[in-house]
Amino acid sequence: MSGVKAVGVRVALDRKPILHGVDFAVASGSWHAVLGPNGAGKSTLLRAVAGILPYAGEIHVGGQSVARLAAKHRARLIAYVPQEPQLPGDMTVGEYVRLGRTPHLGYLGVETRDDRAVAGRALERLDLTGFATRRLGAMSGGERQRVVLARALAQQAGLLLLDEPTTALDLGHQQQVLDLVDELRSTEGLTVVSTLHDLSIAAQYADELTLLVGGQAVARGTAREVLTEERIAEHYGARIRVLDDGEGRPVVHLVRGKGR
Amino acid sequence: MGRVGARGADGSGPGAGSGTGPGATDAGFATGVVEPVDPAGADGDAAAGNGSAGDAVGAEATTRPAFETAPRRFARPTIALLAATAVLFLAVLIASLGGAAGLPVAGTAEALLNKLPFVHFDTGLTAVQQGVLDQIRLPRVVLATLVGALLAQAGAAYQGVFRNPLSDSGTIGASAGAGMAATLVIVYGGGPEHTFAGIGAVPLAAFVGGLAGVLASYVLGTLVGRGGTASLILAGVAVSSFVGSVQAFVMQSSTADVKQVYSWLFGSFTAADWGLVRLALPYAAVSVLIVTLHARHLDVLALGDDEAATLGLNPVRIRLIVLAAASLATATAVAVSGIIGFVGLVVPHVVRRVAGPGHRLLLPMSLLVGGAFLVLADLLARTALAPAELPIGVVTSFVGAPFFVLILRATRGRDR
Ligand SMILES: Nc1ncnc2c1ncn2[C@@H]1O[C@H](COP(=O)(O)OP(=O)(O)OP(=O)(O)O)[C@@H](O)[C@H]1O
Ligand SMILES: [Mg+2]
């Protein structure tokens, strides 16, 4: 049980208010997409939910206030994949993914065979088994993104926070990663909150969406409710068409400008 | 929607199990340098220079065969540790043999092994030879080993804490603070003859000054930059150069003591005796223990503070604990030997090339290799111009400075 409930979340960075009272709720076992233009505060919201930013208001994960959770307990509850993860170039892929087991280890961090098995399965699920002994510095951008995801999966937390998890992935791997997350959601009851720039993908995978603009949630609901032509045009300042994929989910297209 | 459930499901297997796996076999790492995920794809540079020593650098990275991109490391950490222990023993043996009075090789080796519990050889050394070994050579050799080990491990710890491969006692204010305090005592406080509760005033001042230097850097770094690692190092450099200028002024105004201060600033083991070893040992044990226990934490810190926090650590607290322990080690080393540069910088880098970035191997290996390095450097210091002695800091810097440049060259692809 790891649903999220946030009420009136306000965050200031460097004393500058970034989030101005955001409400949102994610049912346990569902996928929630946070959308919005650059600088809207999506990453900030995710970091607040992850418990690594001080915030005002309330954020509950699995019924417990995030701010009051002990770090280790929080880490068993919430896994977070940042938009720009830091990867030490000399570390191997296997070593990195095993660090995902940290919240399950004692103070000295001694890994058991089980821990290694869990990490091994995470590698497998992301097609990375053959890369286990490679240095992170020798991985491509998309491979690294999958490595980071594997580390988050090795954490075995009930809530997965993904900040732009597919930006560097090719089409096939985008689908593979999103399908994997979707499968974990349905088979293991994982709750997923992700930011996604691709609105059509968000419409495909997310049960519910929140549109964040200027630190405020301006729309919330299913893809059909949130992704209307007028709203996207207004908030993104883009010329777009919203079509239907035939199964009731919107598909967002850019419309080319007149200039050559 | 109401609150859901009492506990987050995590479907996790074993909780905080305490396995018996060979801790260092796997995992572990953290090098100073961190690369962001580059959504545009990995460029050749990302792979450059941070591999093992023989790695080619630069654009050909992309065309290298896969096996070469795997790090070249000892398959077995145990083998690495045993090899390093053997190197240390050899270094100690060689250093024990070097000196005016000749000692037989085999007998000395056996006499050294006799120091281990449950070992007894009939060495064939004369009483005089045994006396030379026990009272003249060994105190100095042991002290040099201890100091080398402390400085090297502290360097590795600083580099892990700051995620910066150039961090060292020299760059975070420890050496400068110790040097300043010792200078003050030598010039104004009656000099080395002065004692305080049976402890020499100079070592005592160096100890306090070293800790104060780090503390000043830390407070300053926190004030100006919210404790980010870069601001801490910059603060350390600022504190070091400020203190250095004050020290130069003090020395200028008291030319009579300059020679004494200088000999101290470049380090020396001439005063070594068992008393100094006994003085240093408890602090050394505590600091080594604390640093070693946080090896895996340092690995996690390499991912950055945000990710360390989402993995359940408190990065600020861990940084503070390890920083304090490493500074205790540095202060102890400086107190008994003066300022010896480059050991903390050079040794961890060499070890990293062989053992990889994981701290569970890096930290103990640095202890062993650092001890071996300094014991040999001291041998050189006392025999190269015998009967005159070189300051040991001169020897380590002579070897260290060129090496430092090589490190910079080899890792230049990682500069950002
Ligand atoms: N440390 C900081 N201090 C002050 N302002 C910040 C800081 N970090 C981010 N901001 C500002 O906060 C706002 C929200 O940033 P955030 O990273 O949450 O945006 P985002 O919605 O994730 O954008 P993107 O789509 O580009 O990832 C931006 O306007 C940004 O400039
Ligand atoms: Mg963002």
What residue segments make up the domains of chain B, in order of their start? 4-69, 77-410
* CB-based contact, A135 to chain B, within 8 Å: yes
Whichever domain contains A12, its CATH number is 3.40.50.300
Give the model's pLDDT for residue A6. 92
Please compute the mean of the pLDDT values over residues A164-191 and round it to a whole number.
88
CATH class in words for B77-410 = mainly alpha
Helical ranges in B50-97 per DSSP H? 66-69, 77-97
Q: Which residues contact A196 (CB under 8 A, 6 or more apart)?
A: A33, A34, A35, A164, A166, A202, A206
DSSP code at position A191: E
Give the model's pLDDT for residue B46. 37
Is pLDDT of A60 > 90? yes
Is pLDDT of A155 > 50? yes
What residues are paired with A13 via a beta bridge?
Answer: A16
* CB-based contact, A49 to chain B, within 8 Å: no
Q: Are B265 and B187 in contact (CB under 8 A)?
A: no
Residues in the ligand 1 pocket, defined by CB under 6 Å: A 13-14, 16, 18, 36, 38-44, 83
Give the distance (Å) from ligand 1 centre to CA of residue A39: 5
Give the model's pLDDT for residue B194. 60
Is pLDDT of A175 > 60? yes
Which parts of chain B have pLDDT scores under 70?
1-75, 99-101, 190-200, 225-229, 404, 407-408, 410-416
Q: Measure CB to CB from residue A141 to each of B26, B41, B311 and give the nearest one.
A: B41
Q: Are A78 and A1 in contact (CB under 8 A)?
A: no
Q: Are B272 and B313 in contact (CB under 8 A)?
A: no
Q: Count Cβ atoms within 10 A of the Cβ of residue B367 and give its class: 0-12 exposed, 13-18 middle, 19 or more buried.
A: buried
Percentage with pLDDT > 70 across chain A: 99
Give the distance (Å) from ligand 2 centre to CA of residue A43: 4
Q: Count Cβ atoms within 10 A of the Cβ of residue B308 and give its class: 0-12 exposed, 13-18 middle, 19 or more buried.
A: buried
Q: Count Cβ atoms within 10 A of the Cβ of residue A222 and give its class: 0-12 exposed, 13-18 middle, 19 or more buried.
A: middle
Q: Which residues contact A173 (CB under 8 A, 6 or more apart)?
A: A127, A142, A146, A166
Question: For B161-176, how does the pLDDT look when each residue is reduced to its tens digit (9 = 90+)?
Answer: 888 877 888 888 888 8
Domain tally for chain A?
A: 1
CA of residue B225 relative to chain centroid, distance: 26
Give the distance (Å) from ligand 1 centre to CA of residue A74: 24
Q: Are B383 and B190 in contact (CB under 8 A)?
A: no
B384 three-class SS: coil
* Domain assignment present for A259: no
Q: Measure CB to CB from residue A71 to each of B12, B31, B314 and give the nearest one.
A: B314
* CB-based contact, A89 to chain B, within 8 Å: yes
From chain A, pick out residues whose CB is under 8 angstroms from the CB of B69: 134-135, 138
Pocket test for ligand 1, best of A19, A44, A216 (most atoms within 8 A of CB): A44
* Residue-wise DSSP of B316-359: HHHHHHHHHHHHHHHHHHHHHH----SHHHHHHHHHHHHH-S-H
Give the model's pLDDT for residue A260. 55
Domain that holds residue A150: 4-254
| Closest-approach residue (CA) in chain B for A134 | B70
Residue B407 has, within 13 A of its CA and on its CB side, a CA count of 20
